[in-house]
Amino acid sequence: MKREWKIALIVMGVITLVLLAAAIGLFWGGGLQTTAVDADQVNIFVQTPPLAELGEDIEMILTIENNGEQFVPVDEIRLPAALTDSAVIKDVFPTLHPGQQKLYGDQTGFKIGMMLEPGERREFTIQIMPWQIADVASQVEIISGKMVMPAGFRMLINKPVALQVTPVDIPTLAPPTETPGVTPSPEPTLTATPMELPYKAVVKIIAKVKHSSYLRDLWGGSGTIVSPNGYILTNAHLVLPMPGASPSAFVIAMTVDPAEPPVEMYYADTVIVNKDLDLAIIRITSDLKFKPIDWEVTVLPTVTLGDSDQLQLGDPLLILGYPGIGGQTITLTSGNVGGFTAQKNYGDRAFIKTAAAISGGASGGMALNERGEMVAIPTQLGSGEEEALVDCRVITDTNGDGNINQKDVCVPVGGFINAMRPINLARALLESIVQ
């Protein structure tokens, strides 16, 4: 009888072990299977500030959602070398394996070892301190079993930039001291100084579209800051949607150093558009961290507006803008007033013709007279005799497939501009908006 009980106990023990093993197998490889996770059931989002400054502590927020019915393991987070080469990774939180960092050829992995239940959403915070100037456009990878799930991001790392307005000291002349019997010397005269180019008032306007978790460039053009509270005069075609390409945001890059590419610093919104004139006004609204601009303390460089009706045939012109092809820094070209073109509803001076070689990217920039006043806006609408753009080229990956080909939308940044809109045609727009 005792032997039978022993056999029964052994059998029950074996059955218990089998059931326990089956339960474990069910968890790890059966009903809660993790090795056959469908990537479509997992959503991954990466949030980073689009602009980071050297030495600044920033956070990359990685969000993982399990929308399926299976458990999803988060085994490892891998960061690209493009990021780790330009920034110090200070911490990854939460992690169940602190300090377990693994280096790969072009990635740095951080062991996580966490299981997401069906319907669970989890955020991971990666603390970063940039130390090297870079434009990082890459992917974070989530390792789940044998599956690799990427999520794209882009972040521009630059040194802090502060726009400053340097006051000009105007000397005062003391009245001459008269001495009896001595003939007073003539009063000193102030000689004219060379015109100072207002190049810092010229900005690059970059139309961007949301792609994955970052903004991708669509096209670019030029604009001119016409008021200290952020109003920018530019061309309408730079801010209007095009077939197959509708901008999600406009980024304003400021001219800080004429020898360097402009620095992306602000977001702007469209205020008013006049398609007939091909003119538009946009306004700076926030910095790249979406912090609203405090116009009590922010002072932007501006340009003085002239009177385009005073221009005569042969008058010299200076044109400032950003070329669409062949360069990234601000470009100055010179020419003369070559004539005027009439247009219905806009008079005999609807366009100012010039023989200056103005690159297409300078569309929306500024044309200055010899006193340094803005008198015209380069535009690609031609001389008024045609409605089509002078040139439109496929030079940007507008559909985000990694290739630049005929599947992309042509953008108006190529060719050369042969005419400009007089500033006086823009005054009605400016007076209705700019205070």
What average pLDDT does the segment 386-398 reach? 48
The CA distance from 46 to 61, in Å, is 6
Per-residue pLDDT at 104: 82
Q: Among 22-36, 74-88, 287-301, whose mean pLDDT is lowest?
A: 22-36
Burial zone of 243 (CB within 10 Å; 0-12 exposed, 13-18 middle, 19+ buried): exposed
Per-residue pLDDT at 403: 63
What average pLDDT does the segment 254-277 reach? 89
Delimit the CATH 2.40.10.120 region(s) of the chain: 199-433
The rounded percent of the chain whose pLDDT value lies above 90 is: 18
What average pLDDT does the segment 70-96 reach? 85
84-115 per-position pLDDT tens digit: 888 888 888 887 665 678 888 778 888 888 88
Predicted confidence (pLDDT) at residue 34 exceeds the cutoff of 50 = no
Q: Given pLDDT bands bounded at 50, 70 and 90, which one contains residue 181?
A: low
Q: Among 12-21, 48-57, 161-170, 379-388, whose mean pLDDT is lowest?
A: 161-170
The SS3 of residue 20 is helix
The CA distance from 193 to 68, in Å, is 72
Predicted confidence (pLDDT) at residue 284 exceeds the cutoff of 80 = yes
Q: HEC string of 71-121?
A: CEEEEEEEEEHHHHCCEEEEEEECCCCCCCEEECCCEEEEEEEEEECCCCE
272-283 per-position pLDDT tens digit: 999 888 899 999
139-169 per-position pLDDT tens digit: 899 998 888 888 888 788 876 654 444 444 4
Per-residue pLDDT at 68: 85
Fold of the CATH domain 39-158 = Immunoglobulin-like (2.60.40)
The CA distance from 58 to 49, in Å, is 8
Per-residue pLDDT at 387: 41
Predicted confidence (pLDDT) at residue 344 exceeds the cutoff of 90 = no
For 365-378, give the DSSP string: -EEE-TTS-EEEEE
Contact 100, 74 (CB under 8 A): no
Preceding omega of 94 cis (within 30 degrees of 0): yes
Per-residue pLDDT at 169: 44
**Mean pLDDT rounded to a whole number for the chain:** 76
Q: Which residues contact 114 (CB under 8 A, 6 or more apart)?
A: 73, 74, 94, 96, 122
Q: Among 25-39, 77-91, 176-190, whose mean pLDDT is lowest?
A: 25-39
Instruction: Kindly report whether the global pTM for this prediction surpasses the value 0.85.
Output: no
The CA distance from 209 to 191, in Å, is 51
The SS3 of residue 243 is coil
Q: Given pLDDT bands bounded at 50, 70 and 90, which one contains residue 343?
A: confident
Per-residue pLDDT at 3: 61
Please choose, from the candidates 212, 216, 430, 221, the residue with its C-alpha nearest in 3D space to the C-alpha of residue 322: 221
Delimit the CATH 2.60.40.10 region(s) of the chain: 39-158
Query: To which H or E segment does residue 429 belong?
Result: helix 427-433
What average pLDDT does the segment 75-90 reach? 87
Q: What is the CATH number of domain 199-433?
A: 2.40.10.120
207-220 per-position pLDDT tens digit: 888 877 778 788 88
Q: What share of the chain is helix, strand, coil (3-state, %, to 5)?
A: 15, 45, 45
Contact 391, 215 (CB under 8 A): no
329-340 per-position pLDDT tens digit: 888 888 888 889
417 or 201, which is more confident: 201
